[in-house]
Amino acid sequence: MSNWPTETKYISHSTARIDAPAKLTGNARYSSDIQAEGWLYGMIYRSKWPSAKIKSVNLDKALQVPGIKAAVVVRDGEFNVRYYGDEIAAVAGVSKQACLDALRLIEVQADVKHEFVVKENDARKDGSPQVWDGAANTVAPHVRENGTVDAAFGECAAVIEGFYTTPVQIHHPMETHGNTVSWTDDGVTAWSSTQGISSVRDGLAGSLQLDHSKVRVITEYMGGGFGAKFGAGAEGVLAAKLSKAAKAPVRLMLTRFDQALAVGNRPSSFQKIKMGALADGTLHAFEGENYGTAGIGAGGDSGGGGGGADIPMPYLYKVPNSRVKQSAVAVNAGSARAFRAPGNPPASFGMESAMDDLAVKLGMDPLELRQKNDPNPVRQREYALGAEKFGWKEKYKKPGSSPGVVKTGIGCASAAWPAGGGSRRTQGEAQINPDGSVEFRLGVQDIGTGTRTVIAVIAAELLGLKPDQITVKVGDTHYPPGPGSGGSTTCASISPTVFDICTKALQQLQTQTGLADARGDNWFAACKKLGVDPLVVHGQWQQGLSSDHAGGVQFAEVEVDTETGLVTVKKVVAVHDCGLIINCVTLESQINGGVIGGIGYALYEERVMDDLSGVVLNPNFETYKMPGIADVPDIEVILVNMPERGVIGIGEPATVPTAGAIANAVANAIGVRVPSLPITPAKVLAALGKVPPPVNS
Amino acid sequence: MKQTRPENSGAGAHSRRTFLKSLGTVAATAATAQVKSVAAELEKANAEKVVGPGAVPVTLKVNGQTLKLTLEPRVTLLDALRNYSSLTGAKEGCDRATCGACTVLVNDLPIYSCQKLAIEAQGCEITTVEGLADNGKLSPVQQSFFEKDALMCGYCTPGFLMSVTALLKHNPHPTAEDVKHACAGNVCRCGTHPRIVQAALKAAGVATASKTEVVDYV
């Protein structure tokens, strides 16, 4: 397809992250580092009740605390709170300590509702407390049906049934949500920790009833989002209101505790799957029923889409006869938001588990079952490449046949990510100065994926310069507008845009200077001919340089200690395609990150709710466990380069199949399925019949 | 020999209840006396050291520079750096000793600066991430992180840099396991861990190769 150059110096090679020096020296200023002149500290007062009507909030005593400059209530009049952690009020003061003192003195009159529900299975029962007054907790299921399912099951040689569950997972970026907001007569400036400067700008303008032109959002550096940081959020609006009241900039970053309660999560899933195949392994019939919770809602502030509890079933395999029923269950807990590949990791875990269970019943190698039923030709290649690198044939043993106390097992699973393409509304500009220096300005943001570096790599390639000769400015709504960083779309949005800017720049340089080719060695001579005025070139996303739909296959090897139940991931081979590779080194980092996130989902992560008090029992890192450096296995990456497809994003597909591959490896090791994530030692021992099942599972 | 019993040896005198009661009284008296004396000792010992609750002058030596601040005694070293000076390199990820983003060196040992009061850190040599580079030249650890791409969003990076720097000061030839042990108290959510191990080993002079393979589809 593409007009991308085939002989390259930088594209498809490795350029070290251009903003790394700033991050490595502490010079990079994250949103939480902003020290605007006269800034105040802000903190939020949250509901201690899972369900209550707030009658009144008295801030008088809080305002008398020395150093407190402002206090605001989240909304006027009476209002409802529907989960433990819902926002009620906020204070701003000269120090964190003053704010902590003030929060203790806020007085709230509330009608506390002692009936609430935090667990999906309780919320589905008749007579359950209603999260939303007068509305059932479970809406009518969405039903999709293809073919003739009931008859088809009768034609199958093997049928399995399973109940596969996944927990609510919390994003927990290392930098919590938050902003520094300065509201003056000229308008609002917000230094936001966000994945979408434009969506935060629009959200703040809407909530504060200001013109979009009066709100500027700046995100020079931010500490991770994973889908949870698209909107202004209650915390952004509160910071703005505090700033207006205090007449000073307010830095309001959430605490880690807040982070676990109120700013998003991945919905749970409870998947009842029945699946059948013909004798040769061809999938023939599928029936899936799924429900899960997105908390009190489907992520009203998610901005980036997703947040609902529906998942793509039967995922990426071809099943001619299928019936899928799905519904979301409301509980008194914080809303879901988009989370890296929304819907896909749970769907992959359920379907891939069912695939392996069916392979056992058919007496087939599970890899062969996949190769037989996956319609995608790129993944067919990836199965072959990965299997060879991983040594699948040599390593594969019948489930449960590993000897000894510590058993080894292998598994594989696949990913399909339908997005990853570019946003047509992406714009950008370059300013080419007579001294030959060049600055690219795009209103996107670098969330840690290497966006700045991608811009520098492409510009250097097309202008015949080196990446370090390109100055890249992103993360400011004063720059030409770009999309939010979600859906793995950033790379495919900015790459064609930079291509367009460079093409136009070279054309204009030729017109203005008379030099036939301004690239490379001619660059400085050409720029000098501009005289005194810099050349500013505007460009936008162009068709034909990017596409969408990326996939991948991952293979995992695990050890399971059958006395302690502990699962250790020994090795992961990740084979992925994302069209034209722009920068190998940052691409590999993205895939490592996806795999490691998937390990957390497979083995450790789960939001635990207390049904008696309605609180999140593990709102901090000592109890909400994520993979640490010692948990990370040897990860080998194979990148399938497809320049003919143009640029596609990778962030999301890389995390999709990991949990399914690990779960299958565990089942292969111990000969029984642990059908519930995370695969904790307690669940492994229960599956082995050594202890009773954990109470919460 | 005929055994005699004391005059007042009625059943009640040696009952379990009175025994315990008398024991309790004795023990309680002793304990009270002890508490009182301990309290008196403490009061005496602390007489000159009690500071606050109001702000007090605090002097910190950070990256070789003297920082003179006025802080409430409850202000942590992390907050002193981030909120009362311009040293925002150390990051707050949890404020409760579970993430390591706030790691700094105190007398060459890595500590969670969110768990040390600024007043306690007086008189110590404090090194933050801002103090690693030498006149703009990256330290060997920083340079290795740069070359190995051992960072993504970069928010946890200052903490990992300090943990690895401290490791190499005390163990210039670590194994991969040593690196993992040294970084066990640092959390990264983007998933840079494999690269951090490679970078630390590189800084120690051990070559590691990426296992990434690029295959053309057509």
Helix (H) or strand (E) holding A7: none
The interface predicted TM-score of the complex, written ipTM, equals 0.96
Residue A566's alpha-carbon distances to A380, A606, A666, A688, B20, in angstroms, are: 33, 17, 10, 12, 49
Q: Please list, in sequence order, all residues whose beta carbon lies within 8 angstroms of the beta carbon of residue A448, skipping any fewer than 6 positions away.
A: A222, A223, A224, B152, B153, B154, B190
B123, B140: one domain? no
Query: Hey, is the C-beta of B98 within 8 angstroms of any chain A C-beta?
Result: yes
The DSSP annotation for A550-601 comes to: EEEEEEEEEEEETTT--EEEEEEEEEEE-BS-SBHHHHHHHHHHHHHHHHHH
CB distance B217–A577 less than 8 Å? yes
Please write the tens of the pLDDT for every residue from A195-216: 999 999 999 999 999 999 999 9
Q: What are phi and psi of A147, to 5 degrees?
A: 70, -160
As a whole number of angstroms, the distance between CA A357 and CA A354 comes to 5
B176, B203: one domain? yes
User: Does the pLDDT value for residue A474 go beyond 70?
Assistant: yes
Please write the tens of the pLDDT for every residue from A38-56: 999 999 999 999 999 999 9
pLDDT over 90 percentage in chain A: 93
For residue A447, give the chain B residue with the closest CA.
B153
Residue A604's alpha-carbon distances to A561, A607, B101, in angstroms, are: 16, 10, 21
Query: Hey, is the C-beta of B79 within 8 angstroms of any chain A C-beta?
Result: yes
CB distance A628–B158 less than 8 Å? no
Residue A271's alpha-carbon distances to A142, A167, A274, A309, in angstroms, are: 14, 12, 10, 11
For residue B30, the model assigns a pLDDT of 59
Q: Indicate whether A621 belongs to any domain.
A: yes
As a whole number of angstroms, the distance between CA A294 and CA A234 comes to 18
Which CATH number belongs to the domain containing residue A574 in this structure?
Answer: 3.30.365.10
Please provide the average confidence, as pLDDT, over all residues in chain B.
88
Please write the tens of the pLDDT for every residue from A313-323: 999 999 999 99
A373, A481: one domain? no
Number of domains in chain B: 2
Dig out the tokens for A419 from the structure.
Answer: 């997005």
- pTM value is 0.93
Please write the tens of the pLDDT for every residue from A61-102: 999 999 999 999 999 999 999 999 999 999 999 999 999 999
As a whole number of angstroms, the distance between CA A400 and CA A687 comes to 12
In terms of DSSP bridges, do strands A438-442 and A470-474 run parallel, antiparallel, or are they unpaired? parallel
Q: Indicate whether A156 belongs to any domain.
A: no
B136, B204: one domain? yes
CB distance B194–A642 less than 8 Å? no
Average pLDDT score over residue span A258-283: 97
Write out the E strands in A259-371: 269-277, 283-293, 321-329
Q: Indicate whether B20 belongs to any domain.
A: no
Query: Hey, is the C-beta of B116 within 8 angstroms of any chain A C-beta?
Result: no
As a whole number of angstroms, the distance between CA A100 and CA A42 comes to 10
Which CATH number belongs to the domain containing residue B201 in this structure?
Answer: 1.10.150.120
Higher pLDDT, A3 or B92: B92
For residue B21, the model assigns a pLDDT of 54
Q: Indicate whether B174 belongs to any domain.
A: yes
Please provide the average confidence, as pLDDT, over all residues in chain A.
95
A478, A512: one domain? yes
User: Does the pLDDT value for residue A644 go beyond 80?
Assistant: yes
Q: Indicate whether A170 belongs to any domain.
A: no
B59, B83: one domain? yes
Which CATH number belongs to the domain containing residue B57 in this structure?
Answer: 3.10.20.30
Q: Indicate whether A608 belongs to any domain.
A: yes
Q: How far is B22 from chain A (nearest CA, A)?
A: 44
Instruction: Give the amino acid at B215.
Output: V
B148, B169: one domain? yes
Confidence of residue A307 (pLDDT cuts 50, 70, 90): very low
The alpha carbon torsion through A238, A267, A170, A273 (nearest 10 deg) reads: 180
Query: Hey, is the C-beta of A447 within 8 angstroms of any chain B C-beta?
Result: yes
Q: Indicate whether B140 belongs to any domain.
A: yes
Confidence of residue A681 (pLDDT cuts 50, 70, 90): very high
Q: Please list, in sequence order, all residues whose beta carbon lies within 8 angstroms of the beta carbon of residue A141, skipping any fewer than 6 positions away.
A: A289, A291, A325, A326, A327
Please write the tens of the pLDDT for every residue from A598-642: 999 999 999 999 999 999 999 999 999 999 999 999 999 999 999
Number of domains in chain A: 3
Contact A337, A370 (CB under 8 A): no
A345, A479: one domain? no
A240, A369: one domain? no
Average pLDDT score over residue span A479-504: 95
Dig out the tokens for A181 from the structure.
Answer: 């907001």
B144, B189: one domain? yes
**Could you give the count of Cα atoms lying within 13 Å of A369 in the half-sphere of its Cβ?**
29
A428, A411: one domain? no
B94, B144: one domain? no
User: Does the pLDDT value for residue A564 go beyond 60?
Assistant: yes
Q: How far is B48 from chain A (nearest CA, A)?
A: 24
Q: Indicate whether A75 belongs to any domain.
A: yes
Q: Indicate whether A150 belongs to any domain.
A: no
Helices (H) and strands (E) in chain A, counts: 18, 23
A414, A468: one domain? no
3-state secondary structure of A496: helix
A222, A206: one domain? yes
Please write the tens of the pLDDT for every residue from B48-98: 678 888 999 999 999 999 999 999 999 999 999 999 999 999 999 999 999
Instruction: Give the amino acid at A98.
Output: A
Please write the tens of the pLDDT for every residue from A381-412: 999 999 999 999 999 999 999 999 999 999 99
Which CATH number belongs to the domain containing residue A59 in this structure?
Answer: 3.90.1170.50
A672, A566: one domain? yes
Query: Hey, is the C-beta of A231 within 8 angstroms of any chain B C-beta?
Result: no
Q: Indicate whether B27 belongs to any domain.
A: no
Q: Indicate whether A313 belongs to any domain.
A: yes
Rg (CA), chain B: 29
Residue A351, judged by CB atoms within 10 A of its CB (0-12, 13-18, 19+), counts as buried
As a whole number of angstroms, the distance between CA A284 and CA B87 comes to 62
For residue A238, the model assigns a pLDDT of 98
Instruction: Give the amino acid at A509.
Output: L
For residue A39, give the chain B residue with the closest CA.
B83
Task: Choose, out of A8, A18, A25, A389, the residue to mutate when testing the contact with B (most B CBs < 10 Å).
Answer: A25
In terms of DSSP bridges, do strands A215-218 and A187-192 run parallel, antiparallel, or are they unpaired? parallel
For residue B210, the model assigns a pLDDT of 80
Query: Hey, is the C-beta of B104 within 8 angstroms of any chain A C-beta?
Result: no
3-state secondary structure of A271: strand
Question: Could you list the residue range(s) of the whole structural domain that residue A92 is in?
Answer: 34-114+177-253
As a whole number of angstroms, the distance between CA A162 and CA A218 comes to 48
As a whole number of angstroms, the distance between CA A455 and CA A435 comes to 21
B142, B114: one domain? no
A234, A302: one domain? no
Contact A586, B150 (CB under 8 A): no
Task: Choose, out of B104, B149, B151, the residue to mutate when testing the contact with A (most A CBs < 10 Å).
Answer: B149
Residues 611-640 of A with CB under 8 A from B: 620-622, 626-630, 632, 634-640
3-state secondary structure of A605: coil
Average pLDDT score over residue span B29-45: 72
Q: Please list, in sequence order, all residues whose beta carbon lies within 8 angstroms of the beta carbon of residue B37, skipping any fewer than 6 positions away.
A: none
Q: Please list, in sequence order, all residues whose beta carbon lies within 8 angstroms of the beta carbon of residue A212, skipping any fewer than 6 positions away.
A: A201, A202, A205
Q: Indicate whether B40 belongs to any domain.
A: no
A85, A231: one domain? yes
For residue A656, the model assigns a pLDDT of 97
A350, A396: one domain? yes
User: Does the pLDDT value for residue B7 go beyond 70?
Assistant: no
Q: Indicate whether B31 belongs to any domain.
A: no
A582, A568: one domain? yes
CB distance A592–B192 less than 8 Å? yes
CB distance B90–A26 less than 8 Å? yes
User: Does the pLDDT value for residue B1 go beyond 70?
Assistant: no
Average pLDDT score over residue span A553-559: 98
Report which of A595, A583, A566, A547 is spatially closest to residue A456, judged by C-alpha positions.
A583
As a whole number of angstroms, the distance between CA A447 and CA A230 comes to 11
B202, B173: one domain? yes
Q: Indicate whether B61 belongs to any domain.
A: yes
Confidence of residue B40 (pLDDT cuts 50, 70, 90): confident
Confidence of residue A162 (pLDDT cuts 50, 70, 90): very high
Name chain A contacts of B218, Cβ cutoff 8 Å: 642, 644
Dig out the tokens for A143 from the structure.
Answer: 């039903």
Report the residue count for chain A: 697
Query: Hey, is the C-beta of A43 within 8 angstroms of any chain B C-beta?
Result: no
Q: Indicate whether A317 belongs to any domain.
A: yes
Last residue of a domain, one of A519, A540, A561: A540
Task: Choose, out of B78, B105, B153, B178, the residue to mutate when testing the contact with A (most A CBs < 10 Å).
Answer: B153
Question: Could you list the residue range(s) of the whole structural domain that residue B75 is in?
Answer: 52-99+110-127
Please write the tens of the pLDDT for every residue from B118-147: 999 999 999 999 999 999 999 999 999 999
User: Does the pLDDT value for residue A303 go beyond 50?
Assistant: no
CB distance A447–B98 less than 8 Å? no
Edge-to-edge order in the sheet of strand A79-81: A79-81, A52-58, A107-112
As a whole number of angstroms, the distance between CA B182 and CA B203 comes to 14
B159, B194: one domain? yes
Q: Indicate whether B36 belongs to any domain.
A: no
As a whole number of angstroms, the distance between CA A311 and CA A314 comes to 9
User: Does the pLDDT value for residue B46 go beyond 80?
Assistant: no
Query: Hey, is the C-beta of B90 within 8 angstroms of any chain A C-beta?
Result: yes
For residue B190, the model assigns a pLDDT of 98
